[in-house]
């Protein structure tokens, strides 16, 4: 039973992540271009004649770097991505606080109605996530839930990618870049990660609350 639930969840996430692939590659591309500018900007002459040569010599990065970063992003599990968003080692999934936190913050959710339907609502994080996921399965095809799930997955994956950028890219920039704005670039990498943490948390809350709000008005 548990294996089947996990299998269905992975299949659903895979389909939604495929829908997000364009946005993810745009994000990769923007970060890659910014990185190349920081590292190779001063290898281009003022009149731009060396630009074509730079593309020939360094252009391989346009192909290799996204692939490498994509593989690295794939090595980060769903639980690890949640840890990067919520900064919790255990019970980091948003469903782990579905009833003790999110249900109390959204006026659309009728907690009394939820208690009538499900009895005493769970308090332990693991039980909360299990109960919330069981409810989610009944609404997974709802357009509102599906869209909020897709948005959360996109924000989660971009947040994980931004963390990898922050972890990996500063090293070659500090070692090889002569760009006067390289420290501002590193600050922007950190800011990008923090903004995506906030974004992913908000989309996670919306996803959880949309499911509970629909359940409470059945």
Q: What is the pLDDT of residues 137-195, one digit of tens each?
A: 999 999 999 999 999 999 999 999 999 999 999 999 998 888 888 999 999 999 999 99
Give the structural domain span for 31.
2-216
* pLDDT grade for 3, boundaries at 50, 70 and 90: very low
- 216 or 62: which carries more pLDDT confidence? 216
Q: Is the pLDDT of residue 79 over 80?
A: yes
In this structure, the number of other CB atoms found within 10 A of the CB of residue 211 comes to 27
Cα distances from 127 to residues 7, 84, 95, 98, 100, in angstroms, run 19, 22, 9, 10, 11
* pLDDT grade for 69, boundaries at 50, 70 and 90: low
Contact criterion met (CB below 8 Å) for 175 and 35: no
Q: Could you give the CA distance from residue 4 to residue 14 in angstroms, rounded to a whole number?
A: 15
Average pLDDT, the chain: 85
DSSP one-letter code for 218 = -
Contact criterion met (CB below 8 Å) for 73 and 178: no
Q: What pLDDT is recorded for position 2?
A: 38
pTM of the model: 0.83
Residues 6+ apart with CB under 8 A from 202: 155
Q: Is the pLDDT of residue 120 over 80?
A: yes
Q: Is the pLDDT of residue 28 over 90?
A: no
Q: What pLDDT is recorded for position 38?
A: 87
Number of separate domains in the chain: 1
Percent of the chain with pLDDT over 70: 80
* pLDDT grade for 100, boundaries at 50, 70 and 90: very high
- 32 or 213: which carries more pLDDT confidence? 213
What is the three-state SS of 52-120? HHHHHHHCHHHHHHHHHHHHHHHHCCHHHHHHHHHCCCCCCCHHHHHHHHHHHHCCCCCHHHHHHHHCC
């Amino acid at each position: 039973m548990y294996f089947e639930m996990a299998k269905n969840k992975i299949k659903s996430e895979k389909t939604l992540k495929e829908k997000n692939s364009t946005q993810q590659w745009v994000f990769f591309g923007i970060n890659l271009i910014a990185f190349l500018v920081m590292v190779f900007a001063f290898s281009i002459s003022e009149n731009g004649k060396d630009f074509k040569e730079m593309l020939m010599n360094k252009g391989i990065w346009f192909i290799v770097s996204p692939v490498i970063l994509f593989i690295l992003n794939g090595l980060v599990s769903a639980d690890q991505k949640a840890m990067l968003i919520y900064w919790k080692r255990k019970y980091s999934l948003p469903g782990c606080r579905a009833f003790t936190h999110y249900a109390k913050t959204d006026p659309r959710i009728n907690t009394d109605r939820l208690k009538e339907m499900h009895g005493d609502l769970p308090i332990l994080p693991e039980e909360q996530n299990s109960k919330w996921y069981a409810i989610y399965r009944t609404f997974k095809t709802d357009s509102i839930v599906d869209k909020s799930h897709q948005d959360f997955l996109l924000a989660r994956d971009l947040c994980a990618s931004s963390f990898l950028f922050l972890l990996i890219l500063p090293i070659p920039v500090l070692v090889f870049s002569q760009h006067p704005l390289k420290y501002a670039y590193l600050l922007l990498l950190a800011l990008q990660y923090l903004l995506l943490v906030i974004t992913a948390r908000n989309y996670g809350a919306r996803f959880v609350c949309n499911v509970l709000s629909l359940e409470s008005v059945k």
